[in-house]
Homo-oligomer: A and B are copies of this chain.
Amino acid sequence: MMNKVRAASAPAPLKTGVKNAVILGATGYTGQELVSLLSRHPGFVVAAATSESEAGARVPGTSLSYTPAAEVDLGAADVVFCCLPHGESGVWAKRAADAGAVAIDLSSDLRAPGSGAVYGLPELWRDEIRGARLIANPGCYPTGVLLGLAPAIAGGLVDHSRATVIDAASGVTGAGRGAKRDLLFGEVAEDYRAYGVGNLHRHVPEMRVGLTRLSETSPQFVFTPHLLPVRRGILETMYVPLTQDVSAAEAVRLWSDFYAAEPFVEVCASELPSLRNVVNRNVVSLGFSAVDEVESPMLIVVAAFDNLVKGASGQALQNANLILGFEESLGLPA
């Protein structure tokens, strides 16, 4: 049903030297995270980190200064990570790919089919990614949804006549580092609220594309994100209608088998995942609960992950490793 190749080993490195990485938009949260991850990665050197507003200032934790994007020679880069605002980032990614670099766009600009980019979720579509030069890095919410639901869909367990309810909560860094009143500490602390309710969030079409690709049918789901007063982390509680009863223990077996070769998907056998256990790690952690007291079979799948790591910059680096011939897990905290 799926083209997923689970056991394929990483190819031999294409080149042996250290690669040049460029980060476009390095002062936002995903850009900062990439600076941090790359500085600990043995195979990359950050050749340039761009910022228009902070040009000339020192990049924290490095000996670099921020450069305006226009001054960067994209053609000299091995990989360009585009962490610019939506609407702007995809253009730069295409420019970087045209200049000969591997380009990885962390915005939503290139995630729709027909964009010319390959959707970069390695655990599900690794083979396509390997040969790509232009990657649409997945959105944070879809990463957890697709990895959480893929084994159920692949196993033919999902009852597509009913809707899956996906109730999600995200820390504030998921909304970026732009100065917005709604994201002030004085507004967010001691608050909790839903937003984009009624499938209005911009990640909904991306989820739909991914789920359709996995299931070969049009999936039904309702996605409701909430804003959490924490800095990092997403927790998604998914209520999945099934064609047959599946116990939590059976789910652990099924999901563990599906992801047996994956270092960045963690299946929790005994307790459910929580934000605290996944922060700063490039991991999606999954847990399960049966629901006995309803007439039609249902399984609860809980996914937790760090929106800035496996939900963005860590996954971008995972894609870069894969394409540039490094071991896929190199430099990534599991």
A contact set with B: CB distance below 8 Å: 29, 60, 161-163, 165, 167, 169, 171-173, 177-181, 183-195, 197-199, 220-222, 224, 226, 228-233, 235, 237, 239, 248, 272-277, 279, 289-296, 298, 300, 302, 304
Contact = CB atoms under 8 A, between A and B. Distances in A.
Q: Which residue, of A191, A226, A304, has the highest number of chain B Cβ atoms within 10 A?
A: A191
A279 B60 CA distance: 14
Nearest to A161: B295
A130 B194 CA distance: 36
Contact of A231 (B190, B228, B237, B289): B190
Given A60-B277, A169-B226, A184-B177, A193 B235 contact: yes
A298 B163 contact: yes
A300 B191 contact: no
Contact of A162 (B60, B162, B167, B186): B162
Given A180-B179, A189-B189, A222-B291, A197 B272 contact: yes
B222 A294 contact: yes
A190 B279 contact: yes
- How many copies are assembled? 4
B228 A198 contact: no
Contact of A185 (B162, B188, B233, B274): B188
Question: What 5 pairs across the A-B complex have the smallest Cβ distances?
Answer: A193-B274, A167-B167, A185-B188, A198-B289, A163-B294
A183 B180 contact: no
A237 B167 contact: yes
A103 to B, nearest CB: 27
Contacts of A228: 192, 228-229
A272 B196 CA distance: 10
A98 B291 CA distance: 41
A300 B222 CA distance: 10
Nearest to A175: B186
A184 B179 contact: yes
14 contacts: A162-B162, A169-B226, A171-B190, A180-B184, A189-B189, A190-B230, A190-B231, A190-B279, A192-B235, A193-B272, A194-B237, A220-B293, A221-B294, A228-B228
